[in-house]
Amino acid sequence: MILSFMILLPVVAALVVATLPGGDEERAGRARVVALATTLVEFALGIWLWTQFDQSTAAFQFTENLPLFAPFLNWSLGIDGIALMLIELSVFLMPLCILASWVAVKKRVPEYMAAFLLMESLMIGTFAARDIFLFYLFFEGGLIPMFLIIGIWGGARRIYASYKFFLYTLLGSVLMLVAMLWMVNFAGTADIGELSKVDFPKEAQFWLFLAFFASFAVKMPMWPVHTWLPDAHVEAPTAGSVILAGVLLKLGGYGFIRFSLPMFPDASAQLIWLVFGLSMVAVVYTSLVALVQQDMKKLIAYSSVAHMAFVTGGLFALNTQGIEGAMVMMLSHGLVSGALFLCVGVIYDRLHTREIGRYGGLADTMPKYALVLLFFTMASVGLPATSGFVAEFLVLLGMYQTSTWATFVLTTGIILGAAYMLWLYARVAYGKAAGDDTRAMPDLDAREIAILVPIIIATLWMGIYPKSFQTPMKPAIAEVVARLEGRALATVPTDMSLSPAMPALAAPAAAQESHH
């Protein structure tokens, strides 16, 4: 019942928050306290869940099954290691989001807190659902609070951004729903565990894969359907961006690993050229776009798209290292890009602009802030000892076995990533302050430190001892890999020496491979 409790508690809290008595100020104060308390309880429950989790099995744990909404769907819950880690990420980021909005959000505070609590419930539900339609319910349901969060509390172009976010993701999802209905009709079960064992006809797999791909690629987001993300990020309030980058983007990757890979293994193997191709374009293109951004949030948003391309690349390496790397990348990106958005929020709250040119010299005036920003810049670039390094290393290791070409292109993303992140840091933290108001900004206060330090600890932990995070996921990933084993791969250039066009590069690459 623990999962049900974790899903329902925020809903109840949201109802309480929305119907609090009192005047505006009183209500706002109480709403903040209730929301923070609820998310902290959720976090504690999440930790307890982790301690109780049996790390040796791939089977779903903490299962519940109630035919509450028969015949359409069952209240069927359960988690494996992959879902567990993503739930941990959600419950970890949530209290930080509430804290980050403590003073920044001033209008309609109770509604804001209620929307975030609903968001938390829906996210946990998405990861815990074991009925395919229950998954869809939570997956889609998240659109409503996010739409309201962007539209009510967002910036100047919030309405455009909220529509774009909503309709883009909805269009992707309805195609997936048609595929789900077909699958359940074909297999006679809506249980995700059982559907993962069904061998769908290869012809059908192709279409089913594409239908799911339409939804997950938008959520991910992959190039060229990523354009909603920068708009949504820029216009969302800070905490909205954190949740968007930290958890909502993970739904796409989670969908691939939960549905696309185990349910359509043949199509996945046949279509890796598609995923690799889009990932390669995404890494190079969005990294270059990130380089020229003037808006900090937009820059980080584009870097998210590049990082997510690593996730898709790792997943479709179709081997243990690649998938594990993709999972670590998702967790790492959730922490690091969430923290980067929080960092932008810190200075945005002071100067009310995200324009990079308006800052400068923060290393002198805000030394603590500069240090924190430097840390997360390095984590985003993938410096060893941070989580980003583990993730990128594993992804590239896995991909190398499937396609050296794709690996080569993705590796350039690391260099480009270092370029745009370091340049961002240089412009913000070094040099001279752009104006007196920039110079007058106070350094981090206790609340902001309390938000950022836990993320620093988690990032270092994941970077230095990733085993704690990998062990729970291993059996579940092994199961996915077992499903993929022996599927006919599409003919992708797996070796650079196959390409006569680049003889100079081929030699060292081939040598490296033989060495490997």
Partner 1 sequence: MHPIFTSIAIAGPETVLTLGSLAALMLGTFSGKGPKDSRALTVTSLFAVAILALAGFTLLDAPAGITRAFDGLYVADDFSAFLKVVILAASAASVLLALPWLQESGSGRFEYPVLLLLATLGMTMMVSANDLLTLYVGLELAALPSYVLAAFHRQDDRSAEAGLKYFVLGALASGILLYGVTLIYGFSGSTQLDVIAGVVSGQTERSIGLLFGIVFILAGLAFKVSAVPFHMWTPDVYEGAPTPVAAFFSAAPKAAALGLLARVMIVAFPGNIAGDWQQILIFIAIASMVLGAVAAVAQTNIKRLLAYSSIANIGFALVGLTPGTPAGISALLFYVTVYVAMTLGSFLVVLQLRRPDGSPVESMADFAGLSKTQPKLAAALAIFMFSLAGIPPLLGFWPKFAVFQAAIASGLIALALIGFVASVIAAFYYLRLIKIMYFDEPAPAPFGPLATEGSAVNGAMIAACALFCSPIGMLAISPLVAATARAAAALFPA
**CB under 8 A: which stretch of 166-174, 254-262, 269-277, 388-396 binds partner 1?**
166-174
CA–CA distance, 107 with 253 (Å, rounded to integer): 34
Q: Are 127 and 334 in contact (CB under 8 A)?
A: no
219 binds partner 1 (CB under 8 A): no
Tell me how many degrees the CA angle 38-126-43 measures, rounded to the nearest 5. Answer: 25
144 binds partner 1 (CB under 8 A): yes
- Binding test (CB under 8 A) with partner 1, winner from 47, 59, 159, 415: 159
| Number of H-type helices and E-type strands within the chain | 26, 2
Structure token digits, residue 512? 């490296």
Between 186 and 408, whose beta carbon lies closer to partner 1? 186
Between 166 and 254, whose beta carbon lies closer to partner 1? 166
Between 68 and 511, whose beta carbon lies closer to partner 1? 68
136 binds partner 1 (CB under 8 A): yes
3-state secondary structure of 500: coil
**CB under 8 A: which stretch of 160-168, 312-320, 355-363, 444-452 binds partner 1?**
160-168
Rg from Cα positions in the chain: 22
498 binds partner 1 (CB under 8 A): no
- Binding test (CB under 8 A) with partner 1, winner from 12, 37, 167, 440: 167
Phi/psi of residue 384, nearest 5 degrees: -55, 145
206 binds partner 1 (CB under 8 A): no
Q: Are 183 and 195 in contact (CB under 8 A)?
A: yes
> Looking only at residues 13 through 72 of this chain, which bind partner 1 when binding is defined by CB under 8 A?
67-72
**CB under 8 A: which stretch of 171-179, 266-274, 350-358, 464-472 binds partner 1?**
171-179
- Shortest Cβ 406–partner 1 spacing (Å): 32
374 binds partner 1 (CB under 8 A): no
CA–CA distance, 180 with 294 (Å, rounded to integer): 42
User: 481-493 b/e with 16+ CB inside 10 Å = b?
Assistant: bebbeebeeeeee
By rule CB under 8 A, what count of residues binds partner 1? 33
- Shortest Cβ 168–partner 1 spacing (Å): 10
- Binding test (CB under 8 A) with partner 1, winner from 44, 178, 385, 426: 178
Between 96 and 180, whose beta carbon lies closer to partner 1? 180
Structure token digits, residue 30? 């109480």
* Closest among 79, 77, 76, 16 to 46, alpha carbons compared: 79
- Binding test (CB under 8 A) with partner 1, winner from 50, 102, 133, 393: 133
Q: Which residues contact 321 (CB under 8 A, 6 or more apart)?
A: 394, 395, 397, 398, 401
Between 37 and 167, whose beta carbon lies closer to partner 1? 167
CA–CA distance, 154 with 460 (Å, rounded to integer): 32
CA–CA distance, 244 with 115 (Å, rounded to integer): 13
Between 67 and 384, whose beta carbon lies closer to partner 1? 67
- Shortest Cβ 267–partner 1 spacing (Å): 17
Adjacent-strand bridge partners of 355: 295
152 binds partner 1 (CB under 8 A): yes
State the SS3 of 385-454. CCHHHHHHHHHHHHHHHHCHHHHHHHHHHHHHHHHHHHHHHHHHHCCCCCCHHHHCCCCCCHHHHHHHHH
- Shortest Cβ 164–partner 1 spacing (Å): 11
175 binds partner 1 (CB under 8 A): yes
141 binds partner 1 (CB under 8 A): yes
Q: Tokens 């046949």 label which residue? A: 270
- Binding test (CB under 8 A) with partner 1, winner from 89, 99, 143, 462: 143
Between 133 and 423, whose beta carbon lies closer to partner 1? 133
Contact residues toward partner 1 (CB under 8 A) are 67-72, 133, 136-138, 140-141, 143-144, 147-148, 151-152, 158-159, 162-163, 166-167, 170-171, 174-175, 177-178, 181-182, 185
